[in-house]
Amino acid sequence: MTGDAENPGPPAPLSSEQQAWIAQANEAIDLDFMLSTLERAVGIPSRTGEERALGEFFAGTMNARGIDAFYQPIDEHRGNSIGRLAAGGGGADLLFYGHLDTTFSADAREDAQMTGGRPRPDLEPRMRREGDLLYGLGVQNPKGSVVCAIAALDAAARAGVPLKGAASIGIAAGGIHKGPVEGLMHSYRGRRYQGFGVGCEYMLTHGLAADYCVSTKPGYGIVWEEPGECWFRVTITGELCYSGLRHIQPNRNPIVDAAAVVPMIEDWIADYTERHTMGQIAPQGTVGGIEAGWPFKPEFIPGVCVLYVNIHTNSATRPIEVRREFEALIDDIRSKREGIDIGVEMLLSTPGSRTEPDNWIVRSASAAIEAVEGRPIVVSGLSGTTDGAILRNAGIATARIGLPGMAEPEPDWPPMFDACRIGDLERLTRVYLHALIDTCTREREEMG
């Protein structure tokens, strides 16, 4: 195999039979089935920790279409949905990976902390349609791409494509990146905060295996490396005081100190991104959470203010190296802010990962999108983390391609967080079908 460090190697040629199978399978794509399945899936809320109903729905849907599928329980409330097209033997096994849970909860009161309480129809568990535009919670991430993968397996089966290697789909619980944290005012514990690939890890240790994987996470372009991620808690300690006595009692307001610290961290993040950009990844970060005081009793100066900071990594930088860099920043802040009492701890970390771009699945996925679009699409400047690291660390070479990031809304509409176009669904299904047939109708020896 050939190819340089940052471009996929050349595709393997397709036989006339493979070309015919791809054409037949494309004709077998059932768009009505896709839209009705997506509409029903969006209507089933699937917040992290409560994915069971959606997992059972997907398993039942696949079985009804002749795909051998089952629901794999993890506990009473959550589990994975797994489907498989059997093969004749001698070929490589290909896994399509997606997840069940949504970033937002579908509870407007709970989501208000992030949305400001403004109505967001794209974050409600109901699919709406305006012409070619679909929107609703999960339409784009993760349910739309998952439906495309199911439709690809369905079309291959309906077209009677003779597979030598099995094509599977694994739709996991707990794919959203959230983790348990003990905060000042709330304890973020329990299954609702157990994400970061818990379902992916479970399915890979409970019977699911593959040679290659196509991850259905969003981004319509070929991705072969994933960022890692580190979370930090920065604690700024002040001196508790009743505001009515601050003129006669010693006090130091940690919120005031935090107001100075936040821009220092944000400025450092911009420099960190520039220093660590490499390959497809431009790792970002932010101060994304703050806790301090009593919102119902703001007449007290609190004794502590806590900042929560997220820093992404490239695929080569280890979390311990990021921790050391961030601790050095905190030391620098201490030296510049007289009297500040500031500490830091790393709460969570996951490493980045990489599949070499001359690997078979990257070449195949790249050839698939070029066949559909008439040109290659390779993306860069990535920072969002996915379960790709778990798949690669399990020895499964992984390429990622999903729906476009955010559908362009109509001119007088606000930006859509969760939306896609019907044409996007159909094109992505064709890409998945091309990669499936290219990979699963060959002997393993052809793949290097």
Give the residue among 11, 14, 33 at the shortest CA–CA distance from 22: 14
CATH number at residue 297: 3.30.70.360
The set of long-range contacts for 353-356, using a CB threshold of 8 Å and a minimum separation of 24, is: 353/225, 353/226, 353/228, 353/315, 353/388, 353/389, 353/391, 353/392, 353/393, 353/398, 354/224, 354/225, 354/226, 354/279, 354/315, 354/316, 354/392, 355/224, 355/225, 355/392, 355/397, 355/398, 355/399, 356/224
Domain for residue 61, yes or no?
Answer: yes
Q: How much is the pLDDT for 4? A: 41
Q: Is there a single domain that holds both residue 220 and residue 243?
A: no
Q: Is there a single domain that holds both residue 121 and residue 110?
A: yes
Q: Is there a single domain that holds both residue 77 and residue 219?
A: yes
Burial 331-343 (b: 16+ CB within 10 A, else e): eebeeeeeebebe
Domain for residue 3, yes or no?
Answer: no
Q: Is there a single domain that holds both residue 140 and residue 211?
A: yes
Residue at which a domain ends, from 350, 366, 386: 350
Q: Is there a single domain that holds both residue 152 and residue 243?
A: no
Return d(Cα 49, Cα 139) in angstroms, integer. Answer: 19
Q: Is there a single domain that holds both residue 240 and residue 203?
A: no
Domain for residue 7, yes or no?
Answer: no
Return d(Cα 268, Cα 188) in angstroms, integer. Answer: 28
Give the residue among 448, 227, 226 at the shortest CA–CA distance from 359: 448
Domain for residue 11, yes or no?
Answer: no
Residue at which a domain ends, from 307, 332, 350: 350
Based on the structure, what is the number of domains in the chain? 2
Return d(Cα 137, Cα 141) in angstroms, integer. Answer: 8
CATH number at residue 133: 3.40.630.10
Read off the pLDDT of residues 29-78 as tens digits, 9 standing for 90 and up. Answer: 999 999 999 999 999 999 999 999 999 999 999 999 999 999 999 999 99
Domain for residue 360, yes or no?
Answer: yes
Q: Is there a single domain that holds both residue 322 and residue 179?
A: no
The domain in which residue 264 lies consists of 228-350
**Whether this model's pTM surpasses 0.85:** yes
Q: Is there a single domain that holds both residue 320 and residue 413?
A: no
Q: Is there a single domain that holds both residue 173 and residue 301?
A: no
pLDDT mean values, one per 10 residues, the chain (448 residues) = 61 95 98 98 96 98 98 97 95 97 85 80 91 93 97 98 98 89 81 89 96 95 94 97 92 97 98 96 96 94 97 96 98 96 96 95 97 92 88 96 72 71 96 98 91
Residue at which a domain ends, from 316, 331, 350: 350
Q: Is there a single domain that holds both residue 86 and residue 198?
A: yes
Domain for residue 2, yes or no?
Answer: no
Return d(Cα 217, Cα 227) in angstroms, integer. Answer: 13
Q: How much is the pLDDT for 417? A: 76
Q: How much is the pLDDT for 121? A: 85
Domain for residue 407, yes or no?
Answer: yes
Q: Is there a single domain that holds both residue 36 and residue 160?
A: yes
Q: Is there a single domain that holds both residue 265 and residue 385?
A: no
Return d(Cα 360, Cα 224) in angstroms, integer. Answer: 11
Domain for residue 162, yes or no?
Answer: yes
Q: How much is the pLDDT for 10? A: 86
